[in-house]
């Protein structure tokens, strides 16, 4: 029995749980690992998960989640109404897995009987069930997600994140692919070149890579991108010489369905990389400023390209001016040959000659 096991015996027969997980897509993907075990431990509970708009599609169709709440930062009047609705719902247990000021405040506003959070979070005084999990010795980001829930007496048979793609999204994805000129009999790979300016591979390398993949594997190249990233793709397209390509922007559910049909994905470290790894599609991930030992894809069908420079990993206080100007050495040193070699380790399709 855990230190706080006796608390959960005081819950009503059908307790209302709320998990607060704001921040990025990758963080929310890791968080999905706790939903099924939590529901298994409290089978009669009603589980709500609170995320931000960018991550909504990640959680939307998870079978263990009964309701997904979406927090939008503007306008203020909408925020006020949202906070009031948190209070009015009368949750029995609220678990803050955000650990920032906003998440802790939301947790407190609910006035839930049990407000659970990490003992050493910034605003832990807003919890009435602060838990410490240092004895579990979490090492990777997903370990921190799981550790807090384990301290609630929840057992984990596995610690795998889960993303569920709806049938409707799969149907829409087929239509989007056809519209882009990719049909059911076509084999294709995905390039997702979007990244922050200090973490981008040069556009000409993506273009050369597209031509070489087509020459060697006869694959079409599908370019995808996230919000505000189309300009990155637009810089690549004019440099492609021979490879057939298509362009496609969609929501995360549809992108997930499209990803399931791809032979492999080439992308930078980021939220989409984590999504690809969880979905099981082979992925070649390029790392620069972040440490792949910590943030690599959770997949055995992945290859990481990382130059391990003395200045990497870096942060806001150590990043070089040349990187902020769009010329990061950690990506400049990655060659097209590096990427082709990595692809060879995750993709075993037929080799052809289009050259």
- pLDDT tens digits, one per residue of 108-150: 999 999 999 999 888 889 999 999 998 888 888 899 989 999 9
The answer to whether the 5-150 and 167-346 domains have the same CATH topology is yes
Please state which CATH class domain 167-346 belongs to. alpha beta
The pLDDT of residue 16 is: 97
> Helices (DSSP H) in the chain: which residue ranges?
5-8, 25-31, 35-41, 56-59, 76-89, 101-110, 141-150, 167-179, 203-217, 230-236, 252-261, 271-279, 292-295, 321-324, 329-332, 336-346
- The pLDDT-based confidence of 5 (bands split at 50, 70, 90) is low
The pLDDT of residue 317 is: 84
pLDDT at 190 over 50: yes
> Residue by residue, what is the 3-state secondary structure of 39-76?
HHHCCCCEEEEEECHHHHHHHCCCCCCCEEEECCCCCH
**Listing from the earlier edge strand, what are the strands of the sheet with 114-118?**
67-70, 46-51, 16-20, 93-96, 114-118, 129-131
Residues in the chain: 355
Average pLDDT (307-336) is: 92
Is the Cα dihedral 166, 170, 172, 173 positive or negative? Answer: positive
Give tens-digit pLDDT for 54-66.
Answer: 999 999 999 999 9
- Contact present, 268 and 222 (Cβ < 8 Å): no
Give me the torsion for CA of 116, 69, 176, 171, rounded to 10°.
Answer: 90
Rounded percentage of the chain residues whose pLDDT exceeds 70: 97
- Contact present, 134 and 150 (Cβ < 8 Å): no
Number of C-beta neighbours around residue 354 at 10 A? 14
Average pLDDT (164-169) is: 98
> What predicted TM-score, i.e. pTM, was given to this entire model?
0.92
Please state which CATH class domain 5-150 belongs to. alpha beta
The pLDDT of residue 316 is: 81
- Contact present, 148 and 142 (Cβ < 8 Å): no
The pLDDT of residue 326 is: 93
- The pLDDT-based confidence of 318 (bands split at 50, 70, 90) is confident
The pLDDT of residue 218 is: 96
Q: Is 256 helix (H, G, I), strand (E, B) or coil?
A: helix
pLDDT at 2 over 60: no
Kindly write down the DSSP assignment for every residue of 146-183, as one continuous string: HHHHHTTT---S---------HHHHHHHHHHHHHTT--
Average pLDDT (314-343) is: 94
- Contact present, 164 and 252 (Cβ < 8 Å): no
Domain residue ranges of the chain, discontinuous segments joined by +:
5-150, 167-346
Is the Cα dihedral 262, 264, 266, 270 positive or negative? Answer: positive
Average pLDDT (39-62) is: 96
What are the Cα distances from residue 225, in Å, to 12, 193, 231, 347? 45, 7, 9, 22
The pLDDT of residue 1 is: 42
- Contact present, 15 and 94 (Cβ < 8 Å): no
- The pLDDT-based confidence of 31 (bands split at 50, 70, 90) is very high
Distance CA 283, CA 205 (A): 17
């Amino acid at each position: 029995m855990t230190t706080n096991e006796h608390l959960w015996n005081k819950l009503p027969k059908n307790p209302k749980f709320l998990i607060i997980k704001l921040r990025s897509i990758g963080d929310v993907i890791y968080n999905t690992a706790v939903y099924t075990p939590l529901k298994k431990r409290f089978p009669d509970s009603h589980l709500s998960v609170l995320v931000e708009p960018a991550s909504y599609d990640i959680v939307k169709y998870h079978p263990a989640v009964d309701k997904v709440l979406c927090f939008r930062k503007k306008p203020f009047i909408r925020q006020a109404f949202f906070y009031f609705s948190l209070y009015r719902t009368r949750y029995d247990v609220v678990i803050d897995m955000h650990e920032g000021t906003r998440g802790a405040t939301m947790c407190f506003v609910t006035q839930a009987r049990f407000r659970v959070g990490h003992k050493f979070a910034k605003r832990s005084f807003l919890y009435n069930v602060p838990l410490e999990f240092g004895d579990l010795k979490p090492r990777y980001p997903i370990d921190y997600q799981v550790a807090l829930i384990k301290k609630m007496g929840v057992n984990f048979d596995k610690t795998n994140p889960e993303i569920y793609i709806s049938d409707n999204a799969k149907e829409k994805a087929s239509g989007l692919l056809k519209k882009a000129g990719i049909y059911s009999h076509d084999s294709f790979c995905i390039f997702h070149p979007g990244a922050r300016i200090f973490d981008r591979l040069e556009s000409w390398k993506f273009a050369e890579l597209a031509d070489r993949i087509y020459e060697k594997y006869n694959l079409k190249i599908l370019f995808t991108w996230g919000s505000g990233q189309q300009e990155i793709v637009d810089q690549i397209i004019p440099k492609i010489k021979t490879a057939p390509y298509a362009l496609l922007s969609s929501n995360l559910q549809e992108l997930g369905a499209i990803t399931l049909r791809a032979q492999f994905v080439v992308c930078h470290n980021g939220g989409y990389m984590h999504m690809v790894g969880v979905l099981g599609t082979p992925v070649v991930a390029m790392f620069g400023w972040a440490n792949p030992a910590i943030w690599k894809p959770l997949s055995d069908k992945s290859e990481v390209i990382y130059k391990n420079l003395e200045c990497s990993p870096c942060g806001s206080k150590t990043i070089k001016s040349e990187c902020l100007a769009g010329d990061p050495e950690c990506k400049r040193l990655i060659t097209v040959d590096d990427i082709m070699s990595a692809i060879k380790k995750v993709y075993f399709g037929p080799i052809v000659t289009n050259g």
